[in-house]
Amino acid sequence: MGINALKKQGMRIALDAEDFIAKHSVTDEEIISLKKKFISIEELEPILKKREEDAAASASEPEKPQAEVSLPSGFAPMAKEYEPEITVREALDVTGKSRTEGKVDDFVKYFRNRYERLAALLRSYGGKYPEADLHGISKLAGQKVRVIVMIFEIRETKKGNLLLQVEDLTGQFKIVISQRDEQLFQRAKTLVKDDIVLISGKVAQPFIIAEELEWPDIPVARERKKPERDLAGVYLSDLHFGSKQFLGQYFNRFINWINGRGENRDLAGKVKYIFVAGDIVDGIGIYPNQEKDLDVVDIFKQYEMFTDFVQELPDYLEVLVCPGNHDAVRRAEPMPALSKDILGCEVHSVGNPSTICVENLEHLMYHGTSCDGWIATLSHLSYDRPEKVMIECLKRRHLSPIFGAHAIVPEKLDYMVIEKVPDVVHFGHVHKNGYANHRGSLIINSGTFQDVTEFQQRQGHIPTPAKVPILEFQSNKLRTLDFTR
């Protein structure tokens, strides 16, 4: 829910209490348990004391032995013979670094950081015309220039052309894209607010007449990396433990398969890594009247179900997890990693989004909440083809350029910028499997283990549950196993 949501429910929170909540990661459940309408720092301090007491009590109890997972006879997994190769790109993960106060200056720094980093990418592509700043550009009337701009407004003129109000760090100006240039016009129709693009054209007194339009995009020509070890990764998301719609029967089939019980045992034996792109649990209070859709109404018990799952995995597997909008972190992005106290088990917990190098392949893992805004904005996008949304993100080198489409925290560094070129891009959120290859980057949307919800039925959206993608790193072979069969 977060502080703002609690305030909307009538709870008043002192300013020093807000700082305390952020510093000590006080959860909504802990605040609600106080049963107070006004929360001061004095009311919050006992929470830390209770945590210490609980920790001391837990330490005094004998450690619960973890059940050893026995593999079936004849199953000799190759992955068991190798140590993991995992490097989290810490500089691109917000975990432990969020310092914003939500002031005007924070928003200014956020947008400047985004502009400067994406403009640097666009400059690297060069161009046939000299670059110009918008400040004083009208003095260059009659000349051809290229400008790197952020889109402030997009509207159609009476003649059917597109008129863009744009800005850079020096000023504002207008750009016209004529419908007579059909190819350019069609490209421009996929522009969105807050896009950062390079536009070339001729300066007229009141505007620039556009000739070319480029997004930052990822480079076309690059050699595919070939990992040395013949290992594989499994891609999961949107498990929704605790939901009445959780497909436990199919999920158990997946667990049996990963333990070498069933078909495709050779493939199961190659799996060394499991990536989970958010919405591990169904959460509490995510939408109105959610409790009627829950089989487990305690958030901690929902995460215990995830812990049970991890303990059923062979001990040589590495699990990498980022949060989603149903998980117990702030709803706004970028999201910090889920704490060990919440998860209750030893996994690699990273932020949302995060960049992780696994077996020499750069993985960009993002839950995908911005997909909703993309689909609502561009007519050629839909929930049936999530991979098309992911391509739009790669073109822009940004996961959520439309500010206001969903909640974004104005950090001083824009963590939604796709700084490193990814080899694998992994999304979830839309509960629909989708795959593509964009300029050498493999795109995976990993579906769900939740059945169709009432909301999805109203939207006419048909998920693809229990279909699990597995990537063999060395051969770059991607398979999808259907655990509904």
pLDDT in tens, 402-438: 998 889 999 999 999 999 999 999 999 999 999 999 9
Q: 197 is written with which tokens?
A: 């693009």
* Angle at 332 (CA atoms; ends 4, 347), nearest 5 degrees: 120
pLDDT at 47: 81
The pLDDT, as a whole number, for residue 127 is 80
Q: pTM (2 decimals)? A: 0.84
User: Which secondary structure element, helix H or strand E, spans residue 239, and what is its range?
Assistant: none
Closest by CA position to 238, among listed 73, 434, 380? 434
Quick: pLDDT tens for 316-361. 999 999 999 999 999 999 999 999 999 989 999 999 999 999 999 9
Task: Report pLDDT digits (tens) over 109-137.
Answer: 999 999 999 999 999 887 889 999 999 99
Distance, CA of 107 to CA of 104 (rounded, Å): 5
Q: Give strand ranges (E) for 168-245.
A: 172-177, 196-203, 208-214, 232-236
Q: Which of 315, 314, 333 is nearest to 324 (CA)?
A: 333
Question: What are residue 362's DSSP bridge partners?
Answer: 357
What tens-digit pLDDT sequence spans the chain (485 residues)?
566 666 656 677 777 777 777 777 777 777 777 777 777 777 777 887 777 776 666 555 545 445 566 788 788 999 999 999 999 999 999 999 998 988 999 999 999 999 999 999 999 887 889 999 999 999 999 999 999 999 999 999 999 999 999 999 999 999 999 999 999 999 999 999 999 999 999 999 899 999 999 999 999 878 888 899 999 999 999 999 999 999 999 999 999 999 999 899 999 999 999 999 999 999 998 888 888 899 999 999 999 999 999 999 999 999 999 999 999 999 999 999 999 999 989 999 999 999 999 999 999 999 999 999 999 999 999 999 999 999 999 999 999 999 988 899 999 999 999 999 999 999 999 999 999 999 999 999 999 999 988 877 887 788 999 999 999 999 999 999 999 98
> In what side-by-side order are the strands of the sheet with 477-482?
348-349, 318-322, 271-277, 232-236, 467-472, 477-482
Helix (H, G, I), strand (E, B) or coil at 438: strand
Q: Of the candidates 256, 274, 252, which has an alpha carbon nearest to the alpha carbon of residue 265?
A: 256
* pLDDT score, position 60: 55
Average pLDDT over all residues of the chain: 91
Checking DSSP bridges between strand 361-365 and strand 38-39, what pairing results, if any? unpaired
Do the Cβ atoms of 47 and 21 come closer than 8 Å? no
Helices 15-24 and 41-60 sit at what angle, rounded to 10 degrees?
Answer: 20
Helix H or strand E segment including 95: none
User: Could you tell me the CA-to-CA distances from 36 to 10, 48, 71, 166, 463 in Å, in that order?
Assistant: 10, 17, 51, 48, 41
CA nearest to 430, candidates 354, 330, 325, 332? 325
Predicted pLDDT of residue 19: 74
Taking Cα atoms as reference points, which of 312, 264, 180, 230 lies closest to residue 480?
Answer: 264
DSSP state of 138: G
**Triad 351, 25, 52: Cα angle to 5°:** 125
- Predicted local confidence at residue 258, as pLDDT: 97
Contact 48, 42 (CB under 8 A): no
Q: From CA 124, how far away is CA 219, in angstroms rounded? A: 11
Residue 126: predicted pLDDT: 78
What per-residue confidence (pLDDT) applies to 221?
Answer: 73
Burial category of 213 from C-beta neighbours within 10 Å (exposed 0-12, middle 13-18, buried 19 and up): buried
CA distances from 63 to 57, 59, 164, 304, 345 (A): 12, 8, 63, 16, 13
Q: Yes or no: say if 69 and 259 are a contact pair by the CB < 8 Å rule.
A: yes
Domains and CATH numbers, the chain: 2-60 (no CATH), 78-98+229-482 (3.60.21.50), 125-214 (2.40.50.140)
β-bridge partners, 363: 356, 424
Number of neighbouring beta carbons within 10 Å of residue 302: 27
Residues 309, 406: Cα–Cα separation, whole Å = 31
Quick one: tokens of 370? Answer: 């911005």
Cβ proximity of 331 and 68 under 8 Å: no
**Which amino acid, residue 167?**
E
Beta bridge partners of 177: 162
